Amino acid sequence: MSEVKLADAVNSRRTFAIISHPDAGKTTITEQLLLYGGVVREAGTVKARKSGNFAKSDWMEIEQKRGISVTSSVMQFDYEGKRINILDTPGHEDFSEDTYRTLMAVDSAVMVIDAAKGIEPQTKKLFQICKMRGIPIFTFMNKMDRDSREPMDLIGELEEVLGIEAYPMNWPIGMGKELKGLYDRYNHQVTLFKSGEGANADSDHLALDENGDLSDDEELKQDSWYQDARDNMELIEDAGNSFDEDKIISGDQTPVFFGSALANFGVKTFLEIYLKYAPRPAAHSTQNDGEIEPTDENFSGFVFKIQANMNPNHRDRIAFVRICSGKFTHGMDVTLERTSKKMRLSNVTQFMADTRENVDSAVAGDIIGLYDTGNYQIGDSIYTGKNDVKFDKLPQFTPEIFVRVSAKNVMKQKSFHKGIQQLVQEGAVQLYTSYSTGDYILGAVGQLQFEVFQFRMKNEYNSDVIMEPMGTKKARWINPDQLDEKMGSSRNILVKDRNGDPLFLFENRFAENWFKDKYPNVELSEKL
């Protein structure tokens, strides 16, 4: 691929994550975007137990049964000359680590907010991560077809709580049962709301005149909801923020869209404006060689996610890679930075949630999946060329709650051990081994991770497991040269991590301080 063709291909990519608090509508808006991309014929609803029409991005059985997203999904489609990579992330706080790592692999984020609830705790946490990384954020105020908070209050809260300038691209005309449409100041039109499933895919539009008022439809023109929306838009035009594309790209201003993902209202407008202003793939910083530009001729990328059993029939394992520079071609050889080994990329896929297609080429900005037999780990860098490439380290959380885990059926130890080893490689739970007994101990940042682990062990590996709660612990690593196994006790349990490094699981802060007083020369660390 010539330098010009590579640049054109890279510039057509738009890679973003959708973030939100649970149940704000994140997965539903993803489904509608896929509908516009032509990759699904009808959007599923997350909680579709009766119809069986589940959200395509919620591909795990437990997600479909519980109506939640517990793992990041990757989906790709083309729209109006752009190649779009969507990463639908878990909203539940117990899976924040998966979401944080996913945010390292995108160029922008779409923040979905429930218009009835406003800014919720998980939304705030995820926003702060985006802000820290300078990720451009586009906001979708969802569920306007239900009773919601006043739009001006939502805009004010967005600016106050999150500390970012807001620029409303449109404004709701009414809400709930009184929702009439959207006053679209960007496209200089009013978009009419129609009730009924699928009714808004191609909503009617009414043009605004040069004064920003309806040129026809006298009935709507006299409606109090319309007049209220018109007045609010005038107020924002006079006293609000000015549209600033540079601030959007730097993450200091967020375009705000109102609508309803479930009713597919306002989604198309959002998608088209997003594609106009969202950033193309950017340079990625490395630990050893400054920044790497996406149009660099050498291929490079990093593993940000590993997923076992996307196809349970084949017990496969996929390493998700964000391509940072150059072009991937089928059968190419790359270097795995951690081991310096050469790897041939011959079985590579791209995604539509659980559906995969073999791919012969991809460029910077794309997400590809490498069929993995255990070679890759989260955070691995791969590259071509003579110079080593090591991308910045991905975030990892130290577990806070722990359980002892064992096989319920001792005759199924093989499937038990295989399931344990494969699932812990995904990074949602951490595996430790007791120094004294060799028992398995799992650590996680949230209880739901254990429930998902137990469910998947039974359904994907046919292994029922027993989990014995150990409560909260403080994990602290110790230098092996300073370790004496007699230091361990019931209040500071001595274990090994997956790499064989020793650490203590302290019962509480008091137990940790007691240990430090008894062994003042021993160094403890919170590192993973």
3-state secondary structure of 493: strand
* 20 in a known ligand binding site: yes
Tokens of 176: 């709930």
Q: Model confidence over 363-378: pLDDT tens digits?
A: 999 999 999 888 998 8
Q: Model confidence over 64-76: pLDDT tens digits?
A: 454 444 445 788 8
* 43 in a known ligand binding site: no
DSSP states of 104-151: TT-SEEEEEEETTT-S-HHHHHHHHHHHHHT--EEEEEE-TTS----H
Distance CA 75, CA 57 (A): 8
* 489 in a known ligand binding site: no
* 294 in a known ligand binding site: no
* 90 in a known ligand binding site: yes
Distance CA 28, CA 369 (A): 24
What integer pLDDT is reported at residue 63 of this predicted model? 46
Distance CA 428, CA 206 (A): 49
* 313 in a known ligand binding site: no
Q: Is the pTM of this model over 0.85?
A: no
Distance CA 206, CA 187 (A): 10
Q: Minimum mean pLDDT among 162-166, 228-232, 310-314, 416-420: which range?
A: 310-314
Mean of the pLDDT values across residues 505-518?
A: 95
Task: Using CB atoms within 10 Å of the CB of residue 173, give its burial: 0 to 12 exposed, 13 to 18 middle, 19+ buried.
Answer: buried
* 298 in a known ligand binding site: no
Is 80 exceeded by the pLDDT of residue 159?
Answer: yes
Mean of the pLDDT values across residues 148-154?
A: 96
3-state secondary structure of 15: strand
Fold of 16-60+107-277: Rossmann fold (3.40.50)
Q: How confident is the model at residue 324 (pLDDT cuts 50, 70, 90)?
A: very high
* 327 in a known ligand binding site: no
Q: How confident is the model at residue 315 (pLDDT cuts 50, 70, 90)?
A: low
* 92 in a known ligand binding site: yes
- CATH code: domain 284-383 is 2.40.30.10
Tokens of 37: 């991309």
Do the bridges between strand 300-308 and strand 381-383 make them parallel or antiparallel, or are there none, so unpaired?
antiparallel
Q: Which CATH superfamily is domain 401-525 in?
A: Peptide chain release factor 3, domain III (3.30.70.3280)
**Beta-sheet strands, E only, within 250-299:** 253-258, 284-285, 291-292
What integer pLDDT is reported at residue 343 of this predicted model? 95
Mean of the pLDDT values across residues 417-445?
A: 88
Is 80 exceeded by the pLDDT of residue 62?
Answer: no
* 73 in a known ligand binding site: no
Q: Minimum mean pLDDT among 41-45, 183-187, 480-484: which range?
A: 41-45
What integer pLDDT is reported at residue 79 of this predicted model? 92
Q: Nearest-CA neighbor of 296 among 1, 16, 76?
A: 1
* 279 in a known ligand binding site: no
Distance CA 128, CA 135 (A): 10
* 525 in a known ligand binding site: no
Positions of CATH 2.40.30.10 in the chain: 284-383
* 284 in a known ligand binding site: no
Positions of CATH 3.40.50.300 in the chain: 16-60+107-277
Whose tokens are 């060799």? That residue is: 438
* 496 in a known ligand binding site: no
What integer pLDDT is reported at residue 424 of this predicted model? 86
138 within 8 A of 110, measured Cβ to Cβ: yes
Mean of the pLDDT values across residues 264-284?
A: 95
Q: Minimum mean pLDDT among 48-62, 450-464, 499-513: which range?
A: 48-62
Residue 398 has phi, psi (to 5 degrees) of: -80, 125
Q: How confident is the model at residue 42 (pLDDT cuts 50, 70, 90)?
A: low
Q: Minimum mean pLDDT among 27-31, 301-305, 349-353, 444-448: which range?
A: 349-353
* 360 in a known ligand binding site: no
